[in-house]
Amino acid sequence: MAEGTESSENTSVARDPYSVLGVSRTASLAEIRDAYWRQVRFHSMGTDPGVRLQELREAYETLTDPVRRAAYDSPAVDGEPAYPPQPVAPAPLPEPGPTEHEAETQRRRHSRNPLDRLTAGLPRPWRIAIDWIVTIAGAILIVLAIKEWVVNPYRIPSSSMEPTLHCARPGQGCEARLSDRVLANRFIYHFRSPRRGEIIVFNTPTAAAEAACNASGTFVKRLIGLPGETVKEKDGFLFVNGKQLNEPYIQSDRRDHQSGTWLVGKGRYFFMGDNRRESCDSRRWGSVPRKNIIGEVFMTYWPPNRISFHAIFPAPWWFGLVLLTPLRRRKRSGVR
């Protein structure tokens, strides 16, 4: 035999089918199928895949046929297999399973989430970006909706409501280092009318407030007079329809010594600050129409040592909050 050549007998020796597919001798049929398709996908990208794919197919057919596999696994006797292979039809090739992208697309198309169905055909980075955009936009809309129709925070800028609500020094008449920040219930007055003694956020009559106080906008005051009532101040003490108003929230050194009488019109409300000496209120710019009322202040939430409630809760379980916060129930005024 010439040097550098091999016999046809050596070249016809078949490779181990287990090694060809890269599986163990105890591999199940499912593992053999997965390994076969994994190898087919990998070797299909080569420049000349024909020989390798034929080898993979032969190994697959050998290992998926029980008789041929048993014959191959049996020990040989005198060079012959203990169980010679029987001619059988080749095992059908399994259908290729869906790729990860196809499976994800199918899942999204059958999802109950409308966003998943709309973005099912888009690349994964695009879907992730759209999910984030929709999530952030939804969160912003929820916050804006809560602020507009449910609860909105406000900062106390002046001393007109001292000592009930603090403003920050060095403002005139301010007692605290930090201004109180309060929460107003914006939906409560859709179900009932405002009540005397409640601390309320409202918009002032712009022109009148600018002329009287050189300021207008959103104010926080206490409701004193209801529609149709007559409010009278005599030397710092208030009378409603001729009866003196009990005001335990007023400190004696913060009373003024003014006098005057005001008739509250229909559908209008009369507001005053607890710090009568420093409050520019309905005594100067008149009563406020019902449409200008925003909501009731029910809680001070900042600073932490000032956390308190200003509304009276009908449910008795609210008294459990005294274990967590210094609950201060607002003392509501009454006519005597």
Q: Active-site residue among 159, 160, 282, 333?
A: 160
User: From start to end of the chain, where are the E strands?
Assistant: 76-77, 80-81, 151-155, 181-185, 199-203, 218-225, 230-234, 237-240, 243-246, 259-263, 268-272, 288-289, 293-302, 308-309, 334-335
For this structure, is 221 an active site residue? Answer: yes
- At which residue do the structure tokens 């409603």 appear? 240
Q: Active-site residue among 158, 221, 308, 333?
A: 221
Cα 289 to the center of its chain, rounded Å: 36
Residue 292 has what DSSP assignment?
A: G
Spatial contact of 302 and 182, defined as CB atoms under 8 Å apart? no
Q: How many CA atoms lie within 13 A of 109 on its CB side?
A: 8
Backbone φ, ψ for residue 200 (5° rounding): -130, 145
Containing 136, the helix (H) or strand (E) segment is helix 124-149
- At which residue do the structure tokens 């990208």 appear? 45
Alpha-carbon Rg for the chain in angstroms = 42
Which sign, positive or negative, has the C-alpha torsion 106, 108, 110, 116?
negative
Spatial contact of 135 and 172, defined as CB atoms under 8 Å apart? no
For this structure, is 291 an active site residue? Answer: no
Catalytic positions are: 160, 221
